[in-house]
Structure 1
Amino acid sequence: MNKKLLMLFMAVLLAVFTAACGSNNAAPATPAADANKAPEAAQTSEEVTIKHKLGEAKLKKNPKTVVAFDYGVLDSLDKLGIEVAGVAQSSNIPAYLEKFKDAKYTNVGGLKEPDFEKINAMKPDVIFISGRQSDAYEELNKIAPTIFMGVDNAKYMESFKENMKTLGTIFGKEAQVEEELGKIDAAIKELNAKATASGKNALIVMVNEGKLNAYGAGSRFGILHGEFGFTPVDTNISVENHGQSVSFEYIAEKNPDYLFVIDRGNAVSKNKEVSTSTKETVENDLIKNTKAFKTGNIIYLDSANWYLSGGGLVSTAGMAEEVLKEVKW
C-alpha cells in the first residue's frame, strides 16, 4: 500500500515539474513577439523636421492623409507612387493630372482660396503649398504641418532638387528621387550643350489676351536661360513674377533666333490646344520678319508644365524634353 502511495506521489510530482518546465519555456514568447513589433512601431512614429522658406514643420514620416495645393508637388507625389487625399480641384488641374478631378479626392478649394473648413475636417497629416497659397500659410499651419515647396526662380534647379529630396525624406523615397533627378540632369545637360553650341539667342514671352510679357534670366521662366543654356536676346529684362510688358515692335527689334511662347489662356481654359487666335496674334506681319519665324523656331510651350505645375518631377522633365524636341538646331 505504501509502495502504491509512493508511486502515486512521484507521478504527481513529475506532472507538476513538467508543467513548470513548460511554463518556463513558454514565458519568453510574449517578449519575443513584442520585440518583433517594436521596429514597426518605431518606424511609424519616427518624426522628421523640415525647414522651409516660411518656417519649420515637424511631422511623422510617411504621413497618410496628404493635401497638395501645388501641382508640381502633386505630379511629383504621383510619380513617386504616394497617395494624396486632398487636391485644389476648384482651379485648372493640368490635363496630365486629370485623374485628380475624381470625387474620391477631397476638393480643398482653389489655388488662391483654400477651403479651410474641408481641410480641417480631413485632419490631414501634412499640407504642401507654394507661392499662390503663401498668404494662407499661418491658417493652414494651424490645421496641420504645412510645408512651402515653391521654386526659387533665381536658382531653379537647386531649389527644385531640395524640394524633391524633402519629399524623399518624408516618404522614404530617397533612392527613387535620386533616380528621377538623375534623368532630368542628363536631359538638361544635353539641352544646355546644344543651346550653348548653337551660339544663338532666345526670348520667352507669355501671351495673355493679346498682351505680351517677356521674361529674362532669373525670372519665373528663367530656367530657359540659366539651366537650359539659351543666351538671352535682352539682358535688361526686369525680373518680375508677371514679367516685363513688351510689344510686338520690341520683339521685332530684338529679332531673336528662338521665340518661346507660353499661352496663359491655354493654361487656364478647358481647351488645351494652342488656339488659332493665339497663333494669329503672335505670328503677325512684324513677327514674320524675325529670324525665329523664318527658321521655324517659334515654339509654343506646354503651358501646363510651364505656367501651372512647374517644379515637379514630371513637369520639369517635360519642359527639358519638349525644348530638346521642338527646337530646330
Structure 2
Amino acid sequence: MKTRNMFMLILSAMLVFVLAACGNNNKTAETPVTETSANASGSSSDASGSDELTIKHKLGETKVKKNPQKVVVFDFGILDTLDKLGIKVTGVPQANIPPYLSKYADKDAYKNVGSLKEPDFEKINALSPDLIIISGRQSDAYDELSKIAPTVYLGLDTTKFMDSFKENMTTVGQIFGKEDEIKTGLEAIDKSIAEVHDKAAASGKKALIVLSNEGKLSAYGPNSRFGIIHDVLGFAPSDDKIEVSTHGQSVTSEYVAEKNPDYLFVVDRDAAVATDKDGEKAKQTVENDLVKNTNAYKDGHIVYLDPNYWYLSGGGLLSVQEMVKEVGDSIK
C-alpha cells in the first residue's frame, strides 16, 4: 500500500512539472519580439512607423523625416534632380534660375527665399519648412538655417566629382523614397561617361578649360570645379599644374597660346548671370589673334559649354547627363 501511494505521489509531481514546462513554452512563443529597423544612412523607424533619417554630411549630422512635404532648396543641381523626380518644392532663390528650370521663378507657385549667397531667414522661417537643402554658397549660413529647420549640405566635392555626386543623389533618394529612380539615372550617366571617356582617350587630344568673366580668363585643371572633363571624361590636360581654386587660376591669352590646347572648353559666366545673353563678350575675349594660332581654333575645337549646366546647376541628375553629352558631342 505504501509503495502504491509513493508511486502516485511521484506520478503527480511529474505531471505538475510537465504542465509547468508546457505553460512556459507557450508563453515564450506568444511573446512578440520588438526589432529596430535601420536603413543605409543609419536611420531608424520607431514603433509608430514614422521614419526618421540621420543624414551625415560635410557640415554635420541632421535628423530628417522621410518624405518631407515643405522643402526649401538653395542648390540648382539638387533642384534639377527634384524636378526630374517630380518632387514638390516650396521655396527657392529665384534670381538667376537656369532657363530649363524657369517654372521655379513663378512667384505665385514658389516662394522666393533670398539669393544664392544671402538667404532670407525671415521668409524661410515663415514657411516652416520640413527640410532645407544647401550647398557651398550657403555654407556660412548653416547654423542659422539649422535653427529654422533640419538643414542638409549637399554641395559637390569637385576633387572627387562622381563619388560626391553619387553620394548626394543617393541621399536624395533615401530622403524622398526614390532609390530606384536614382539608381536608374546614375546607371544611364555611367554608361554615357564610359562612351565619352573612350572617345576622348582614343583621340589623344589635350584640353584646356577656361572661364570667361567680364573680359578676363581663368583656367581650371584636374580636380577643379570643371575638372570632370579631365578626371571623369578622359581628356588629358594641356597644363597639369593649374592651381586648384574655386575661382580658377587667372590666365592671359598668351598663356592659352603657349599651352596650345587641341580642345578649348569655355564656360561663359557672363551668359550665366545674363550680362552676355548672346555670348559675344566671351567670344571676343577668347577668340583673339593669339588664340587663333592654337590647334583648338584651327581645328574648330573651341567649345562654348552651356553655362546653365556648368556654372549654375552642375551636380543634378539632368545637368550632369547634359554635361557629359555636351563634351561627347564636341569630340570630332
Unaligned runs of 5+ residues in structure 2 are 1-44
Shift of residue 281, structure 1, vs aligned partner: 2.0
> What pairs up with 1:33-112 in 2 under 5 angstroms?
42-43=48-49, 45-89=50-94, 91-103=95-107, 104-112=109-117
Are 1:284 and 2:288 an aligned pair?
yes
1:230-275 deviation line (CA, Å, top 9, x unaligned) = 00000110111100000000000110000000010000016644x2
1:187-206 deviation line (CA, Å, top 9, x unaligned) = 11111111111111000000
Residue in 1 that maps onto 2:12: none
> What pairs up with 1:74-153 in 2 under 5 angstroms?
74-89=79-94, 91-103=95-107, 104-153=109-158
**Paired residues of 1:205 and 1:261 also in contact (CA < 8 A):** yes
Taking the aligned partners of 1:324 and 1:94, their CA distance within structure 2 comes to 22
Residue in 2 that maps onto 1:18: none
Taking the aligned partners of 2:90 and 2:131, their CA distance within structure 1 comes to 10
Taking the aligned partners of 1:326 and 1:272, their CA distance within structure 2 comes to 22
User: What letter is aligned with 2:269?
Assistant: R
SS in 1 for 2:285: helix
Residue in 2 that maps onto 1:295: 299
TM-score normalised per structure 2:
0.84
Taking the aligned partners of 2:309 and 2:217, their CA distance within structure 1 comes to 19
Paired residue for 1:314, among 315, 318, 326? 318
Q: Which moved more, 1:253-262 or 1:279-288?
A: 279-288
Q: Which moved more, 1:154-163 or 1:261-270?
A: 261-270
Taking the aligned partners of 1:129 and 1:271, their CA distance within structure 2 comes to 27
Taking the aligned partners of 1:74 and 1:277, their CA distance within structure 2 comes to 29
> What pairs up with 1:176-325 in 2 under 5 angstroms?
176-269=181-274, 272-273=277-278, 275-325=279-329
Alpha-carbon distance change, 138 to 287 in structure 1, aligned in 2, over 3 angstroms: same
Taking the aligned partners of 2:301 and 2:295, their CA distance within structure 1 comes to 8
Q: How many residues align?
A: 286
Taking the aligned partners of 2:221 and 2:329, their CA distance within structure 1 comes to 22
**Paired residues of 2:216 and 2:285 also in contact (CA < 8 A):** no
Alpha-carbon distance change, 272 to 314 in structure 1, aligned in 2, over 3 angstroms: farther
Taking the aligned partners of 1:156 and 1:216, their CA distance within structure 2 comes to 13
User: What letter is aligned with 1:74?
Assistant: L
Shift of residue 282, structure 1, vs aligned partner: 1.0
1:120-161 deviation line (CA, Å, top 9, x unaligned) = 010000000000000000000110110000000100000000
> What pairs up with 1:157-168 in 2 under 5 angstroms?
157-168=162-173
RMSD of aligned residue pairs (Cα, Å): 1.3
Taking the aligned partners of 1:93 and 1:232, their CA distance within structure 2 comes to 31
1:197-224 deviation line (CA, Å, top 9, x unaligned) = 1111000000001100000100111111
SS in 2 for 1:169: helix
Alpha-carbon distance change, 99 to 226 in structure 1, aligned in 2, over 3 angstroms: same
User: What letter is aligned with 1:300?
Assistant: Y
Taking the aligned partners of 2:158 and 2:150, their CA distance within structure 1 comes to 25
User: What letter is aligned with 1:200?
Assistant: K
Taking the aligned partners of 2:275 and 2:152, their CA distance within structure 1 comes to 30
User: What letter is aligned with 1:281?
Assistant: T
**Paired residues of 1:66 and 1:126 also in contact (CA < 8 A):** yes
Unaligned runs of 5+ residues in structure 1 are 1-38
Residue in 1 that maps onto 2:4: none
**Paired residues of 1:57 and 1:147 also in contact (CA < 8 A):** yes
User: What letter is aligned with 1:48?
Assistant: L
User: What letter is aligned with 2:209?
Assistant: I
Alpha-carbon distance change, 61 to 68 in structure 1, aligned in 2, over 3 angstroms: same
1:11-39 deviation line (CA, Å, top 9, x unaligned) = xxxxxxxxxxxxxxxxxxxxxxxxxxxx9
Taking the aligned partners of 1:212 and 1:158, their CA distance within structure 2 comes to 29
**Paired residues of 1:299 and 1:327 also in contact (CA < 8 A):** no
- The alignment-based identity, stated in percent, is 62
Shift of residue 323, structure 1, vs aligned partner: 1.0
Residue in 2 that maps onto 1:4: none
